[in-house]
Amino acid sequence: MTTTLFTNISELWTMDPLRESEGAKGAGVIRDAALVAENGRVVWVGKAADAPDADAREDLGGRAVLPGWVDSHSHMVFDGDRSAEFEARMAGESYAAGGIQVTTDATRSASDERLSRLLGDRVRAAALGGTTTMETKTGYGLTVEDEVRSAAIARDHVDAVTFLGAHLVPSEFNGEKGSRGTAEDYVDLVVGEMLTQVAPHVDFIDVFCEKGAFDVEQSRRVLDAGKAAGLGVRVHGNQLGESGGVQLAVETGAASVDHVNFLSQADVEALAGTVSRDSDGQVEVDAGEGGARPTGSGPTVATILPACDISTRMPFAPARELLDAGAVVAIASNLNPGTSFTSAMNFCVGTAVLQQHMSLAEALFAATRGGAIALRMADVGHLTVGARADLHVLDAPAAIHLAYRPGMPMTWKVFARGAEVK
C-alpha cells in the first residue's frame, strides 16, 4: 500500500477522542506537525521532525489542518427555488406561496436523474468547502413513492440518510372534502406503508415536533415506529418555541435534537443528563467504524444551526448554556432551499464563535467530533490513528482565522480518505 506524508503543518487539530476533557485547551493540537495516511486511513500522527518515511509527500506550506467537517443535518434531496420567499421574509413582508409545500411539489415533479445530479452537485460543493462527512434527509416527497426514491438517491451520495416523512402534513391531507384525510391519517401512512418501504434505505428517522407540524404524541408515534423498525432516532425540536421536542428526544434516546433555539433550564439539564464520560473524560458512545451505527447508545446531541438562525432571524440557539451544563453540541449547516441554502460550514463555525459565545476549540469540536457523535460514527471527525484520512487544510497558519477573517475563502485543499477533492 502507498503511504503519504502530509507535512509542514503549522497546527494540527486532531480532536483526539481521548483528550476530549482538554477540548477547551486545544482539542489535541500538535504544532509543527505531520500525518501519514495509508489506504485512506491515518496511520501516524506527530511532530514533523519525528515523521517516518513515506512513499509520497504533501507539503502543506505551514498551514493549519483540521479534520473534515462532519455536517450532521441537511435537507439536500430537492428541486426548486424559494428565493422570492426569502426576499419577502428579509423585507418583513408576508409570503403565502406555500413554503415547504412549494419544494415538495417541485421535488415530486423532478426525475430521478435530475434529483441525483442536483444532490451530487451539492455534496461536491460542500466537500470543496471542507465537509467530508454528510447526513441528509428525505422529506420533500411526502408520498410513499417519492420518499422511497429520495432515500434511494441519497444513499448513493452521503454517509448517513434520515427518513423525514414527518416533515409536515402535505396539502392533500388537509381534512377537507375530497382530500385524502386528516393529519392523523397522514401519520398512519408515515408509520405504516411509508416507513416499511423507506426503512431499507435509511439509517435514522426524524420528525418535526413543532406547533403547525406534528405535536408531541404524533411525534412519539413516528419515533417509536422507527425504533421498532431498527432505525436510529433524531428530532427537529424547539425551533419555534418550547415545543416538547427536546424532552421527547431525551425520553426516546435520540441521537440528536436539532435547532434547539428555545430551551428551558429543564431542557438544558435533560440534554446534559444524557452524557456519560469514562475515566479519561471521553464521551461514551456506541458508534460504528466505516459508517453510522444508528441504534448505538450515547448522548442526545444538541445540534445548533447558525446559518438557519441568521436566515430566519431567529434567536441563536443557547450554545454557551448547553456547553456550560455539560451537553454535547454539534454544529451543522441545515442546507435546505427555504431557510438555510448553504453548505458553508466555515461560515457556521465562524458565526458560532462570533455570535454564540463558543471558543474556537468548542466550535471546531462541535463541527467535527460533535457531528460524528450525533451520527454515531467513530472514525470521522478526528485525526488519530485508525481514523479516516479526511483533512481540511486552511489557507491560514491558524484555525482562528475562520472567525478572525469572517466571510473570506479559508479552505485551501481538502483530502477525503487521503485523496485530494477536486
Known binding residues for Fe(3+) are 73, 75, 236, 334
**Burial classification of residue 390, based on how many CB atoms lie within 10 Å of its CB (0-12 exposed, 13-18 middle, 19 or more buried):** buried
CA 164 to CA 187: how far, in whole Å?
12
Amino acid identity for residue 38 in this structure: E
CA 207, 244, 266 angle in degrees (round to 5)?
135
DSSP, residue by residue, 249-264: HHHTT-SEEEE--S--
Round the CA-based radius of gyration of the chain to a whole number and report it. 21
HSE of 222 in the Cβ direction (CA atoms, 13 Å)? Answer: 37
Known binding positions for 4-imidazolone-5-propanoate: 82, 140, 167, 239, 339
Amino acid identity for residue 153 in this structure: I
Known binding positions for Zn(2+): 73, 75, 236, 334
Known binding positions for N-formimidoyl-L-glutamate: 140, 336, 338
Known binding positions: 73, 75, 82, 140, 167, 236, 239, 334, 336, 338-339
- Beta-strand (E) ranges in 287-342? 301-304, 329-331
Alpha-helical runs (H) found in 37-169: 83-90, 100-109, 112-128, 144-155
Q: Are strands 56-67 and 391-394 parallel, antiparallel or unpaired?
A: antiparallel
DSSP, residue by residue, 138-157: --S--SHHHHHHHHHHHHTT
Q: At what angle do helices 144-155 and 112-128 cross, to 10 degrees?
A: 40
Output the nine-digit C-alpha cell for 419. Answer: 485523496
Number of helices (H), then strands (E), belonging to the chain: the values are: 15, 15
